[in-house]
Amino acid sequence: MYNTPRPISLLLGFLLCVLAFYPLYGDLVFGSKASFFMSKLTTIVIFAILAMSLDLLVGITGLVSMGHALFFGLAGYVLALASPEYEAASIWYILPLVLLCCAALGAVVAFLTIKTSGIYFIMVTLAFGQMGFYFFNDAEFSGGSDGMYIMLKPDVSLGGIQLLNLDEKQTLYYLSLACMVFVYMVLRMILRSAFGQVLIGIHANEHRVKAIGYNTANYKIVSFVIAATLAGLAGFLAASQYGFVNPSQMGWHTSGYALMMVIMGGAGTIFGPAIGAFVFEILHYVFESFTDHWLMLMGAVMICVVLFLPNGIGGALLSLVQKKETTGEKNDG
């Protein structure tokens, strides 16, 4: 059952309000650093989209992918390669093109990997991710390991009137925030649908879902394609923010970070991985200010999460709310 309890919905609503009001009042708290933190928050929001898209695979369908960043990076390369050299690409064609490419590659990877499961699925997706990494790392047309610059950010105009200027940090921030809410709503809608229930069933007991008469392979492929497309959306926003794309964005490190965000936030909760992205990136920022070896500290945090919050932050919040509800019902009784 994937209904978000009311207290958690209220908490998420409150956090969203804080994020929405940050550009207006952030300088009152952070002063001259407010602009820097807005860029940081934009990056975090984009990673939240990536983590939620991965949760559809890991937490909902039960497919642990170690190559999810392939689609994140591919989106950036498609944006860079398909943009005209001396003018901004119109978002009305470039965004659908980016998403279509990610969906198409997602379908190919899914078709070739979906028959595998468990450790083999992890290994095969990792291999695809690394194939993508080395392809762009060694290719001259994509700038090799230096990557490519996106000189002009996509143009959001309609009938000659500019609707959004993505060069403005605040605009990109709000666009990313809107996309994060959109992705969350899409995933919740999927979970509530009959299609989503089959995916949840596959995660719990694929054999039984087959015994009900469903072709589980097809469902897993569609799930993979949706996840790849949403990761492509995150990649598009990231490339638009950074103004460049390089192979490391599709390497196994990025896939690993996304997986850590999912685990930290709580796989299968959808909102949890978004929270996980915030916690992961904030800790990253804090640890990095102490030491270059921030991953060591992050590793310690991950061990603590696995030991003390095995269902992640989202899972712990859900348990807390359910426990309170049960206690309330008992007291009423």
Partner 1 sequence: MTLENSDYIIEAEGLQVFYGASHVLHGVDFSVKRGETVSLMGRNGMGKTTTLRSMLGFVPPKEGRVKLFGCDVTGARPFNVIKRHLAYVPEGRGMFHNLSVREHLEMPARPAMDGTWRWNFDRVMDTFPRLSERLNHMGSQLSGGEQQMLAIGRALMTNPELLILDEATEGLAPLIREEIWRIINIIKNDGISTIIVDKNIGPILDMADRNVILVKGNIVFEGSSDDLRANPDILARNIGV
Interface residues with partner 1 (CB under 8 A) are 1, 194, 197-198, 200-201, 203-205, 207-208, 210-216, 268
Query: Least separation, in Å, of the C-beta of 176 and partner 1?
Result: 30
* Residue appearing with tokens 């695979």: 57
- Please enumerate in sequence order all residues whose Cβ is within 8 A of that of 238, keeping only pairs 6 or more positions apart, or say none: 43, 46, 72, 75, 76, 249
Q: Which is nearer to partner 1, 23 or 268 (CB)?
A: 268
Give CA separation, 123 vs 15, 35, 116, 129, 292, in Å.
36, 40, 10, 10, 29
Label residues 308-321 b or e (16+ Cβ within 10 Å = b): ebebbbbbbbbeeb
Length of the chain (residues): 333
Q: Which is nearer to partner 1, 148 or 199 (CB)?
A: 199
Q: Which is nearer to partner 1, 119 or 212 (CB)?
A: 212
SS3 for 116?
coil
Query: Least separation, in Å, of the C-beta of 255 and partner 1?
Result: 25
Q: What angle do CA 237, 243, 246 make, to 5 degrees?
A: 90
Q: Which is nearer to partner 1, 148 or 200 (CB)?
A: 200
Query: Least separation, in Å, of the C-beta of 106 and partner 1?
Result: 23
Determine how many CB atoms are found less than 10 A away from the CB of residue 136: 26
- Indicate the Cα dihedral angle 56, 99, 237, 177, nearest 10°: -50
Q: Report DSSP letters for 152-204, one per residue.
A: SPPBEEETTEEEE-TTSHHHHHHHHHHHHHHHHHHHHHHHHSHHHHHHHHHHH
Q: What is the CA radius of gyration of the chain?
A: 20
Q: Which is nearer to partner 1, 74 or 200 (CB)?
A: 200
Query: Least separation, in Å, of the C-beta of 208 and partner 1?
Result: 4
Report the C-alpha gap between 133 and 152 in whole angstroms.
24
Q: Which is nearer to partner 1, 55 or 281 (CB)?
A: 55
Of 265, 276, 233, 216, the residue nearest 61 (C-alpha)? 216
Host H or E run for residue 209: helix 194-212
Q: Which is nearer to partner 1, 102 or 221 (CB)?
A: 221
Q: Which is nearer to partner 1, 207 or 330 (CB)?
A: 207
Q: Which is nearer to partner 1, 67 or 196 (CB)?
A: 196
Report the C-alpha gap between 315 and 300 in whole angstroms.
20
